[in-house]
Amino acid sequence: MSLDNKAKAELDALVNKFDERIETAIDKREVEAKKSLFSSSNRIDSNLKKEWKGIQDVFNRKSLEHSFEFKTMTIGGQTGDVVGEDNGGLKNIQRGYFDLASMMPQFSLSVNSGEYRYIVNSSESSAFNAVAEGADSAESSVSFTEKSAKPENIRSYFMASREIADDVANFQNFVQQRGVQMLVDQMNGQILLGNGTSPNLSGLLLASNRTAFDYTASNTYYQTVDSANEIDCLIVSINNLLELGFNADMVLVNPAQFGKFSLLKDSTGEYLKNNNFRITGSNSALINGVPVYASNKVSDDAFYVADSSKAFGLVRKGGIDLRVTSEGQDLFKKNLVMMELSARINTLVLNKSATILGDFSDAKTALETP
């Protein structure tokens, strides 16, 4: 039995009408199901009602998209802000440290060497003078001294489960970066304050490794400065070294003392800024063209001025070394990874006369005009 075209058209229209009713019923059921997921607070009821038609249009295929924002909802019994999540990984938020070692002349040991030796001209006597033709000249002399240093170990390690090391992005790089800062802090302390007994370094501030500020009348600038301040103390020290033939290229002070420089004012109450003094960074300044750095290993009232090219150097074997291992029975059983950072360094003091260590309070008293 076959249907004519008219009958077929009427039958198709009837089927389509049934399909539309079924789809409408399904859509309404889906909307009700979606509505049951949301339980809004009174604060957003009005907003939700206002936006609900737009939501229904999306379900009813009258609109492709509808967007709106509300701050609080309850989903599955959990209340709070509903936000997406981006995992930014690890971020270092701890303090960094001024790297004193990077400011020092470097003496690198070869692979097969364990000690660095230098021959320095420790003293000299000059008899150079104008001499008449045919007359004898006088003898000059130079004395030499051997200086040597053996690198000492400064090291520590971190432990982590292999799961963390594998699962957390850039975990090893993070530990390395943070570990380097912690190592730099310890290196700074040993470079300045080491007691000289192995395995400690021979610190630059040891009495045998530096020269004290001259607080007596033998200082050219004794009692010659009106209203002496901290910057005056540093300028005098720079000039004291210049009198001895040294060119200061490094000044170290405590961070708290460094901060006081920014608060110094002239006689008119204006902050002190001139060609002799300029703040160049959060922990650096220039005084008479000489860089000043803030180091937490310098005591609050102290200052250290040096011609680093003549005063000292840093002996090192290799750079900062990172070793990562899971070898060993205990590490293997506990599924742990060990990351060790180390540096092999020591100071080599060449000429303590090219340095000055002083106290601001005593120096200001010595320089102040009576």
DSSP string, 85-98: ---------SPP--
For residue 140, pLDDT over 60 is answered with yes
Model confidence over 83-127: pLDDT tens digits?
Answer: 555 555 556 666 778 899 999 999 888 888 888 777 777 777 888
Which is more confidently placed, 45 or 141? 141
Model confidence over 226-252: pLDDT tens digits?
Answer: 989 899 999 999 999 999 999 999 999
| Angle subtended at Cα 290 by Cα 308 and Cα 105, rounded to the nearest 5 degrees | 20
Q: What pLDDT is attached to residue 239?
A: 97
Map out the domains of the chain as residue ranges: 5-80, 100-113+153-367
State how far Cα 47 lies from the chain centre: 49
Residues 6+ apart with CB under 8 A from 127: 137, 138, 139, 140
The verdict on pTM exceeding 0.75 is: no
What is the C-alpha to C-alpha distance for residues 195 and 118, in angstroms, rounded to an integer? 22
How many H helices and E strands in the chain?
Answer: 9, 15
Mean pLDDT of 308-336: 85
Tokens of 49: 């009602």
Cβ(58)–Cβ(66) below 8 Å: yes
Mean pLDDT of 273-298: 87
Nearest to 236 by CA among 219, 253, 211: 219
Residue given tokens 């021979």 in the structure block: 202
Q: What pLDDT is attached to residue 90?
A: 59
Burial of 38: CB neighbours in 10 Å, binned 0-12, 13-18, 19+: middle
Model confidence over 342-367: pLDDT tens digits?
Answer: 899 999 999 999 999 999 999 999 99
What is the C-alpha to C-alpha distance for residues 208 and 196, in angstroms, rounded to an integer? 10
Give, for 50, the enclosing helix (H) or strand (E): helix 42-59
Q: How is domain 100-113+153-367 classified at the CATH fold level? A: hypothetical protein PF0899 fold (3.30.2320)
Nearest to 109 by CA among 257, 314, 272: 314
Q: What pLDDT is attached to residue 37?
A: 46
